[in-house]
Every structure is written in C-alpha cells, then in structure tokens.
Structure 1
Amino acid sequence: MDHPDTLGHDIRALRVARKLTLADVAERLGRSVGWVSQIERGLSTPSITDLQAIGNILDAPISLFFGTPTGPDEERGVVVRAAHRREIGERDTGLIEALASPDLTDDFEVIHSTFQPGASLDEPKQRATTEVVYLLSGALDIWIDGRAFTVRAGDSFRIKGSDYRWANPYDTPAQALWVISPPVY
C-alpha cells in the first residue's frame, strides 16, 4: 500500500493550515521555492537546523518532525497503535501530548494529552482554532475567556479562538482527547 511521506506531508499540511505559500516559507528560510517543494514531496531531507527553522516558521515543536508511527505497512496512514503514537511538545511541563491522528494531512488533528498532577498552564493561550476536548479520566480545572470550570471524566468542552488556561491540582493524572481544526502541531 502506498502511503505519504509523513515529514513532507506534515510540513505541507502545517504550511497550508497557517495560510503560507511555498514562497512565504522559502523567503523566511532563505531557500528556494523548489527546495521547500522537494521537502514537502519527500524528495529531499532537511537538516536538523532546517527543521528547527521550519518549526519556528510554522509555530510547531521540532519534536513533531521526528518519528513515524510503526506497524504493519497495511496500517500506516490508517491505524495508530497506542504504543506507537508520536510524542509532541515538552514532557517537563507536566503535559504529555501524543499525536493520535496518523498524520497532519486532514483538516483537523487528534491529540491525546496527559496532564500530570500539579501541572498547569498559567499564562492564557489563544489559537486561531476550534478545539473540542473530551476528558477521558481524572479532573481538570480550565478557564476559557476568564470563566472557570472543573471538568471530569466524560465531560467535554470547546475552545473557539478563546483565551484559555488549565491546571491539574488533583492527585491523579487527567487524560483528554483533543480534536483541533485546523492542525496546530
């Protein structure tokens, strides 16, 4: 079964979601449009330095560009096994995130998040996205546009271009599934 090169297709999906052209990215990188196009088509492999620069331009963590889901060829691009998700973001903040989607080529992405006890996002964050979050386990305190809520396993909430922050002051991890459109990682 044919499946797309994850790195190149993910970079293209992020670029399109950010409404950037090949020329925009090429100019910011100081590279040619052809070079960026070759990366997106899987015909060339960028260096670590190039990936850092691409990540900065696309506002995506460089960790997203590493690793591909493993498994049988017939599952790649279709099935993501729990043990083989691509981890994204920084673990040291108390938030562990993994890409539950096979890649970033859809109009949305699905992220599995684990909020460790005591972890928090203290400074409000805002993204030009619509996000629906379903809490799988535990409890989480959230603030959306300054309004405080406590959500528990089975609850869900939506963030639509709003300021938000969160905290897990509880003794157990909270696990959530996020559906985000357009993709941000």
Structure 2
Amino acid sequence: MNSNAPHSATLGADIRALRKARGLTLSEIATRLDRSVGWLSQVERDMSEPSISDLRQIAECLGVPMSMLFAHSAAPAEEQGYVVRAGARRPMGSGEEGLIEELLSPDLTDDFEMVHSTFQPRSRMQTPADRPTQEVGYMISGRLDLTIGGRSFTVGPGDSFRIKHEPYHWANPYDEPAVAIWVIAPPVY
C-alpha cells in the first residue's frame, strides 16, 4: 500500500467487517463491482488501494455513506486500533435528518460499534428503522422521544434504552440538542 495514501490500514479491515456483517461473500461483492475476487481480497488486506470510484461503489454495495470509507484519520501508529481522539472521530451519514454521528470505536472489526450521536433540535427520523441489530443507547444530555416496537418513551440525561431487532423511530421536538452514546451489534456503518 502506498505510504502516502489517505487511508489508514483499517480501511480494508473495515470493508471486510462490513461485508461479513451483511452476510456477503467476496464473490458477491466482486460481482456487483465487476471486479475480481482477488482484487477485492487485496483491498480487504490493505494490499491494493481502491480508487474514489471503487470506494463509491463499495459503499453503495455495503449500504454505508462514502464518508465512512473515506474518513480514516491518520492516528499515530501506536494509537491505531486502540485510541480515538476527540478531534479525530470518523463522521457517519449525511446529517440530513438532523442527526450527526461519529464513530467512537477505533474501527469496525469488533462484534459491535460505539457511536456518538447528536440529535439537532426539532429534528426527527424520516423513515422508521428496522435493522437486524441489538442496540443500547445512553443519554448524555437533552431529551429524545423514541418509539420502539410500537411503544413510546421519552428519555433524558442518564437514561438508557435497548432496541432488539425491532422497528424504531426517534424525534427531538425540543429546543436543545440531544446527545447519546450508542452501542450497536453487529456494526452497521
């Protein structure tokens, strides 16, 4: 891998983890990308550098925003895979619904991911989610209205909640941002 590359060595590992979390084989993704299995295997092992177009297609196949694959920051070598500095979190998603998310986990190679979520005032999820995950959230500040499996709750600082393979929806109809830490298994970003 080119030492001047904008990606850390975790790009390939993250692609592999996301692919496996979605139950996809190398062959299935390679076919969708119109690439060889060998090329994709080299990308996952950080032996080959995907182009911007390749990254766009890989993100689309994995159902993640391209920023997720693009935003590997250059942490000092001794910290990579161990420490994520506050100013070096990887942004996730577009923020269109008023939700700003940052990855707290060093990468996506664990059985779970930790996410810092900020729900902007007067924002709401446009389409309810129903993912094959188990999620636990802990509210740091603000209030959030949740509907989980048809039940409605309002949570605030110090409260926690769990979503287990159920449809859910969030809204922050309040005047202050709501901040939560989420643990999601398996990783979805």
TM tier, shorter chain? Answer: over 0.9
Amino acid at match of 1:69: S
Report the alpha carbon displacement of residue 109 of structure 1 after superposing the two structures with TM: 0.4
2:144 touches 2:155 (CA, 8 Å); kept in 1?
A: yes
2:97 touches 2:126 (CA, 8 Å); kept in 1?
A: no
Q: SS at the partner of 1:12?
A: helix
Q: SS at the partner of 1:96?
A: strand
Which contiguous aligned blocks of 4+ residues in structure 1 show a shift greater than 3 angstroms?
none
Of the three residues 27, 31, 35, the one matched with 1:31 is: 35
Question: Quick check: 1:172 aligned with 2:176?
Answer: yes
CA distances 1:39-59 after superposition (whole Å, capped 9, x unpaired): 101111112221121111111
Amino acid at match of 2:79: E
- Cα distance in 2, alignment partners of residues 89 and 81 from structure 1: 20
Unpaired segments of 5 or more residues in structure 2? 1-7
Report the alpha carbon displacement of residue 122 of structure 1 after superposing the two structures with TM: 3.1
Question: Quick check: 1:53 aligned with 2:67?
Answer: no
CA-atom RMSD, angstroms? 1.2
- Cα distance in 2, alignment partners of residues 36 and 70 from structure 1: 23
- Cα distance in 2, alignment partners of residues 29 and 67 from structure 1: 21
Of the three residues 143, 155, 165, the one matched with 1:151 is: 155
Of the three residues 77, 98, 109, the one matched with 2:102 is: 98
Unpaired segments of 5 or more residues in structure 1? none
1:69 touches 1:80 (CA, 8 Å); kept in 2?
A: no
Amino acid at match of 2:32: R
- Cα distance in 1, alignment partners of residues 79 and 176 from structure 2: 33
Amino acid at match of 2:152: A
Report the alpha carbon displacement of residue 30 of structure 1 after superposing the two structures with TM: 1.2
- Cα distance in 1, alignment partners of residues 126 and 151 from structure 2: 14
The corresponding residue for 2:72 is 68
Question: Quick check: 1:80 aligned with 2:84?
Answer: yes
- Cα distance in 2, alignment partners of residues 122 and 148 from structure 1: 16
- Cα distance in 1, alignment partners of residues 80 and 134 from structure 2: 27
Amino acid at match of 1:63: S
- Cα distance in 1, alignment partners of residues 73 and 163 from structure 2: 28
CA distances 1:87-129 after superposition (whole Å, capped 9, x unpaired): 1101232110000000000010001000000110032111110
TM-score w.r.t. length of structure 2? 0.92
Q: SS at the partner of 2:125?
A: strand
The corresponding residue for 1:115 is 119
